[in-house]
Each structure stands twice: as structure tokens, then as C-alpha cells.
Chains A and B, each alone.
Chain A
């Protein structure tokens, strides 16, 4: 069984009379790629900032790699790497100079530091850019540089806060792949994002945070299962008689049927998802309907997110409240 690297109990951050993070309980094992998913202002960044000692929790406790967040902040800092928009590098220093500065601050012995810099520059194809000022790097390379900098001291835990925003698709893919490899080598990664598809692609587990509360934690597939209504089928079938549509509607576990010629959409509960395709196609074939195409649609994490956060109306309300950044 893997050891728990991050553990929080009732972790809360209150600004004035506004709870940016409200009573978060979380256990993340070593080597897990944990996605923290939520809209802007939901509390993701505040939670990460507390975990990386930038913000003092108002209430609650947390241990990071076995160290108490409040009492052993300096030790916590030695165990973590942080990549976040609010945590930058010195733009007027070169890539190498930035890495040396950080290596020194993390007390790396000179030989080890040079070796590590060389290793990271090679790993991230930075060798030809080592002497360049950070300010001259493109957005993609600058992001990559932030990750290199966060890894200089070989941290046990890496916080990647909205790390793919502003990246081109190739860099984003490369970054996701690298992060996955990093976790496989035992590093725990907390990946915060508001891009719903990202955690689905790479995360072992996802926590959905909304209005400061961690409302659900689970593997992406488990979260999708929590959606009680899902669009299971989209069938292209012209000239479908109304009684066939009614017959499909009366099937067990079917929630909703719409026919917008030539597309028939059948939505069913998660329990009925397994047998719906078979039942619907049997009715259609039995009625002599011509089937041009059948698509089985599984619910996405985005749909799960919308469902879990109380639907689109709730999200609209949240956006209108104009809460600050989270």
C-alpha cells in the first residue's frame, strides 16, 4: 500500500467573511497524479497556495510528506516544487542562472547541482537555451522552464497550477506525458486545472472543488458514473414514426428521448447504460427503420462536473457572483 503524501483535515482559508477554501479533507498517496478540477474562483489556487506554504490556513491541519504544514513549513518547502502563474522566475537571468540560484536556495551541493542542471536541461531539451534570458523564451518554453526550475531539488511533490493554460497543443501533450512519467517514478503531482478534459486524460484521481468545498473525489471513470443521466445513444435514422419514439421512451432506465430528424437521441440512467444500445436497436430494426449510424456517447468529466456542482444554472449563478480568483 502506498504511503499518504498529502493529508488535510478541515483545511480552511477565510478572507474577510468569504471562505475561499472550506473544510477540505484530502488524502493523496505517493506517486499519484491528482487532478484538482474547478471553475475559476472555485478555490483551487488558494488550496494549492496553502499546501505550498504561501498562505496560512485559517483553520484545519495538513501534513505534506510527513511534515506539519504550519509547524514545519521550511521542511515542507524542501519537499515540494511549485509551478504556478503567481510564482515566477527571474526574467532577467538566464535559464542556467535561475537554476543555479534555486539550487543554492535548496542547499544542493555544487557537484550535485551542476549534475542536476545538466540532467534537467537534457531531459527538457534546454541545452541550447541554457544561456538565454528567461525573458527571451516563448510562452511554451517559459512554462517548460518553470517545471525544470520546480524540479531542480528533486521534490517529492509537484504542484502544477493551471500549467497548460496558454500552451500550444504539442507542448501541452508533451507536458502531460512528462507529468505521467514523473508520477510513475514516484513523484506525487497535484494538477489543478479548469480544462475538464485534462484530468480525464492523465489523472489517477480527480477532486472537484466548487465554492471552496471539495465536493467529490474519485477516479475520472467513477466521477462519470456519478452522473445519473447520460446521453447514451445518438442514432441517425430518417422517417421514424412517432409510435417507435414512444416505444423507446417507455423502455426501462430511459430518461429522455428526442427525435430531431434524422437524429434520435436517447438518454438513460447510468444503470441502464449497458443494455440500452441493444434494446433500442432491436426496436428500431423491428419497426423497419433504416439505421445510418449509431454513436454511443459516454458522459464526459465536464458533464459529471456540471452534474456534481448542481447543474449549469448553479455554475451560472457562481460566475455571476463574480467571486475572486481561487
Chain B
């Protein structure tokens, strides 16, 4: 009666033993799945959020312009209230409205608070007074955090010592915030996320996975005994995968545009270039991973890790300017974050590629570095790449 149950238990134990044995044989898998992923995400979460209960503001260290066009006691008081708060430690004065509009999106400042002429007059007359907030369209989440932090601090705009009470109570004037920028729909953001994820996920596996598979099946060794050069192998695989990525991008875009009615704010050539930049960057990284001589199993784990990384640190969910500590540091050195920024700014906002020279330089340098290191490592690791 107990025999079948014991047999099942023995089988289960055998499977567990076998799996542990397989994991033990793959040191990279152990290192990544048991050590790197848990340690990294736990520590970055702690660093990102700060200590429990710590008063932390995401806009505290952001350069934000304050343009006082009213030049009255009320507007001066508003500046003081905001500047004294812990939310706006880097309020910069001296910009004009035109300069701000021209600067936003280039990384110098990330938002601008404009107090227009007639601000105090409206407040005193009991009318609604307006302030305008310009924000960087390409920084996802910027609008919400800047606006909510202004609203939070306007409460301290003291009507007795100064001029006016804000919002409430009734009978007093209100301050209304006008937002100027593009608020993207979840779908538009989702489109960029989907596209980047599709590219990264597929491209990395196509390069690193294909070399690992070739290594395991012995076809890579076959190539190594022919006169083909390593450069030709890398360029061949890159061009092939570039072609695949063009098709892949048009499928995602076609679905988004013709099925879901998405609208692009740029031309197809720009979309294609942005897409291919991310693809080639990922291919370079794929070659780099492949040069370590890892197996297909390890490639899958690294791929999962890479995608997690991108979700967490590349500005999909929170813009890197709104991160802090180690999360921001990682986001700053993660070349995909710049690729994604190019993607967002071109596709969502319609910024021309030529205005994103800094990001393009970082991506170009990263691609060159990945390919160069991968080339040298693949050359010196021929022995690792044969069965």
C-alpha cells in the first residue's frame, strides 16, 4: 500500500537531487540566481527608498527653474515657501520663459515654475491665481511629482503674515497650477516599453543564445577550423539580427498603429534608427556574454536578469532623475537607459535625433566598447568555446 507512495517520494527526491546537481555544475547560474539577483535587488531597493521613515523628496535635488514675472510680495513669498521646503532645494532663478522652453529636454533643468504677471492682484481680488509648470516631457513621472510637491507646499503659503490663503477656506482666492508639457497615455508609454523589451529580449537571446547553442552543438568549432575570421562571424550575426529587428520593430509598430490606433510623433526612419541602436547595443552585450563560454541555461538566466535590470533602472517606471542613491548610479551607467531615453524622446515627444547628441554618444561608445571587448575575449577564449 505504501510502496507506490514511497516510489513517488523517491522519484521526487531523485528529480530534486538531479536538479541540484545540474545547478551545482553551473557556477554562473548559482552566482546569478542565488547571490547576485537577491542581493542586488534588495540592496538597491533599500538604497532607492532610503531608511524607513526618512523624509525624502524625489524633486529635492532636481534643478528646477523659478521664473517670477509678477515680482510682487506674493510671488516672492511663494518662492521662499518653495525654496525653504525640503522638496525644492535647487530652485534656479534668472531664466526667462523662452530660455526655459528651449532648455527643457536637454538635461539642464527638468521643470520650470512660472509665476505670471497679475498673480498677487488676482489673489487680492479673490480670483483664482495661476502658476504655470513646464516640465520635461521625456522624463516620465516628472509632472506628477513636481505638481504634487508644489501643491503640498502651497499649504504653507501663510495668508496672515503674507498675503493670501491658498485653496481653502472658501472666500479666499485659490492658486491653480497650469501644466504645460505632454502627458503621455499609458498606451504610448506601454508601446515604448513593449518595443524595447521585445528588442532586448529577442536580440540578446539571438546572439548570446546562438553562440552558446553553436558551442554546445559543435558548429562553432566547425567555424573555427575554417578560414573565416572572427570579425566576419560577428558582423554576419549582427547584420542578420539587424534585419530581424527591422521586421520585429515594424510588426510591433504596425500592430500599435493599425490595430490600436497609436500615433507616432516622429518619422519611421527615426523610429528605426532608435530601435536599431538599442538592438545593436544589446547584440554587443550578447557577444560579450557569449565570450564567457556560458551555456544556454546561463544565457537564459542572464537574459532574465538583464530584463529585470532594464525594468528597474532604465527609466521605464521612474525617470532616472527621480531615482536616488545606488539606483540612480546604476541607471546612469546602464547604456540601455540612454537608448530608452532616445526612444522615448523621439517616439513620444518628437524630439529630433540630432538634439540628443549626449545620449547618442554614450550609446555609440557603449556599442564600441561592448564589441571591442567581446572581440578580444572571443579571440582569446577559443578554447572555452569548443566542446
Interface, chain A (partner B; CB < 8 A): 49, 52-56, 74-75, 77-78, 80, 82, 84-91, 102, 105-107, 149
Contacts and interface: CB of A to CB of B under 8 A. Distances in A.
Interface string B220-257: 01111111110000000000000000000000000000
B224 A102 contact: no
A59 to B, nearest CB: 15
B210 to A, nearest CB: 11
A86 B386 contact: yes
Given A54-B386, A55-B383, A102 B226 contact: yes
Contact of A86 (B227, B229, B382, B387): B387
B219 interface: yes
Contacts of A75: 227
Contact of B386 (A49, A77, A78, A89): A49
A106 B227 contact: yes
B227 to A, nearest CB: 5
A54 B221 contact: yes
Interface residues of B, number: 16
Given A86-B387, A88-B217, 9 more contacts: A54-B221, A74-B229, A82-B225, A87-B218, A87-B221, A87-B225, A88-B219, A88-B222, A106-B226
A89 B222 contact: yes
A49 B225 CA distance: 9
12 contacts: A49-B386, A54-B225, A77-B226, A78-B227, A82-B222, A82-B225, A85-B387, A87-B225, A91-B217, A102-B222, A102-B226, A105-B223
A106 B219 CA distance: 15
Contact of A56 (B218, B221, B222, B382): B382
Contacts of A106: 226-227
Nearest to A149: B222
A113 to B, nearest CB: 14
Given A54-B382, A54-B386, A86-B386, A107 B218 contact: no
Closest 7 pairs (CB-CB, A-B): A88-B218, A105-B226, A86-B387, A87-B221, A82-B225, A77-B227, A74-B227
Contacts of A77: 225-227
A22 B87 CA distance: 71
Contacts of A52: 225
A260 B228 CA distance: 64
B216 to A, nearest CB: 10
Contacts of A102: 222, 226
Interface centre among B222, B223, B382, B386 (most CB of A within 10 A): B222
